[in-house]
Structure 1
Amino acid sequence: MSHIKIQLGILALLLLVGGTGCVSSEDRAGVNESLSIDFEQSPVGKYSERRLKSEWRGTQIVCGKKDYVFYKLGITPYPLTIGEEQANNYLSVQIDKGRFDPIVGAQWSTPLAGSDSFYLSYRVQFAGDFDFRRGGKLPGLAGGAANSGGNIPNGTDGWSARMMFWENGKLSFYLYYPDQPGEYGDPLFWRHSDGEIVKAEAGKWYTIQQYIQMNDPGQKNGIVKGWLNGELVCDADTIRFRDTEALKVDQVFFSVFMGGGDLSWAPGKDQQIWFDDFQAFNSLKKN
């Protein structure tokens, strides 16, 4: 009982001093002209916050005060480990049974040198017999406040272009931009040339690639492209991300969790999503 009281006391203290927004409150140490992270130099086992911040230069944890404190106190299992498969290291994100939203999973923002265009690539596997349920979030590019969570952009504050998986492994962009039709992100589904929605299968590696080009301020000419294993599966050129030149592509938004806002999104078992070979640079993918 005394141990529980100590934990609750620490929790209350950390919540009081944590302020609002991100609780891992380091100023960004710098921005990245490009990123190339393959986890080969990271030892197998826990992928610590210190290790994360050394590889993802300038990163800020954005999981929220309560979620972060729960990790620190061991109330919620730490979600990040380095695994090894056929002499290749990868990052594993744990998703706990019966849980949804960022309290289980991982979220951080890694700064990029602000540009009107950026390219992002990474490999992903929904490990084992993954339970897709209703879906969840995957990393993408973003700018400014990296709007999410029902925070509709106003054209001057920010935007985001995360990925999302859905029931049966369907894949889409998940866009926050001023013209989005609803309160939450707008799913721009990835489709094969015949119009069929792209689906990922559990237990297989996929290479996801995306390219974002900012619109001219106030114009609906922003570009969003996506490739799966080299196949162009999304090509939109009518997006208004911004009404000001000040907004750029300036971060990788690593956002991985199930949800969704209720238990219908939660998996029926503990499971993992694996990631590898992150690359980001200011160049259009020619394909």
Structure 2
Amino acid sequence: SVFSLEKCSLGKRFIGLEQNYCWLNSGYFRGDYVAFDIEIPGNTVLTKHAKFGPALRGGRVITTGGNSSTGYNGFSARNAFDVRQFGKKALRHPQGTGGVYLYHTDQNNTTGSFSPARINGVPQQWRLGQITRVQIRVKMNTPERSNNAARKYIQTKFDKFNASKGYAKVPIGNDDRVFNDDQRFRLRFFRRNLPASIVPKDGILQVWHDGKLVLDRRNMRWRYDDAIHIDQFFYSASYGGNDSSFSTVKEEKVWFSDMAVSDKPLFYNPPR
């Protein structure tokens, strides 16, 4: 079924940033699709990175702005573009590469991670001046086997780390920003290395551009807690980064139409 949207909020809205979200009216879901048509005008300047357009999220907290996914607070998956010109060649992608910007439990940094669109290993850039039909699928992973099992495992590791550094023993919560950089880095390491026997890596992220599967990840760990589901349509639009080189150089417009959310494929069926 296609879901209608209700209880919409403007969320954050100021120069350079707009974040709106609407609750899905049919309850909570373990697997959903969001689809839309996007047209980026031909004179658009895609700088380093931006989030734009419809997305899916879930949980009590909007995980964005450096508020990492802890497995107990929430997750988000947003349509985006990005550039990476360093590191291993296989990890690089040119300016304007399409993809999804993610907050999930296995992210390797505080501010989220970008998964690029690729076909046969070749990064797919957004086509300017044309309409692209996009479908994004998010399917939840199996939650932790017993209540707070992941939290207890990570807390034990974190206590040993803090003791070795002379830091005070502190409980982990739902906001890593209360810790110093050293502690936040170590917490992300513990989450990425959480045994699959405690929380399986069987979630899914798939993206189609004009019928072509450009992103297919079947090892996602969106959550630890069974209380976290897909419960919001999330619209996010911002050029973003930690310095002015990420900023837009002029006023830009991007057009969206035919936006929909469903628990069934809207345009394209997933591969078997």
- What's the TM-score once normalised by structure 1's chain length? 0.65
SS of equivalent to 1:170: strand
Alpha-carbon deviation of 1:276? 0.7
Identity %: 28
1:105 Cα shift? 4.2
Partner of 2:253: helix, strand, or coil?
strand
- Alignment of 1:158 with 2:71, yes or no, is no
Shift of 1:180: 0.6
Structure 1 moving runs of 4+ over 3 Å: none
Tell me if 1:124 matches 2:41: no
What's the offset of the Cα at 1:268?
A: 1.9
Q: What runs of 5+ residues in structure 1 fail to find an aligned partner?
A: 1-31, 36-55, 68-102
Q: Are the counterparts in 1 of residues 23 and 231 from structure 2 also a CA contact under 8 Å?
A: yes
Q: 1:62-211, aligned counterparts within 5 Å?
A: 62-63=11-12, 67=14, 103-112=15-24, 113-138=27-52, 139-144=54-59, 145-167=61-83, 168-192=95-119, 194-211=120-137
In structure 1, the partner of 2:227 is 246
Q: Determine the structure 1 residue equivalent to 2:9.
A: 60
* Distance in 1 (alpha carbons) for counterparts of 2:2 and 2:7: 12
- Runs of 5+ unmatched residues, structure 2: 84-94, 144-198
Offset at residue 107 of structure 1 (A): 1.2
Q: How many equivalent pairs are there?
A: 198
**Could you tell me which amino acid in structure 2 is paired with residue 186 of structure 1?**
S
Cα distance, 1:267 vs structure 2: 2.0
TM-aligned CA deviation for residue 279 of structure 1: 0.9
Aligned residues of 2:203 and 2:219 also touching (Cα < 8 A): yes
- Find the aligned partners of 2:80 and 2:42 in 1 and give their Cα distance: 19
Preserved contact between residue 48 and residue 96 of structure 2 (Cα < 8 Å): no
Q: TM-score, normalised by structure 2?
A: 0.69
For the Cα contact (< 8 Å) 1:178–1:240, is it kept in 2?
Answer: yes
Structure with the greater relative contact order (CA < 8 A, sep ≥ 6): 1 or 2?
2
Q: CA deviation at 1:33?
A: 6.4
Give SS of 2:106's match. coil
Aligned: 1:34 with 2:3: yes
CA RMSD of aligned residues (A): 1.7
Letter in 2 for 1:116: R
Q: Is the 1:146–1:253 contact (alpha carbons within 8 Å) kept by the matching residues of 2? A: no
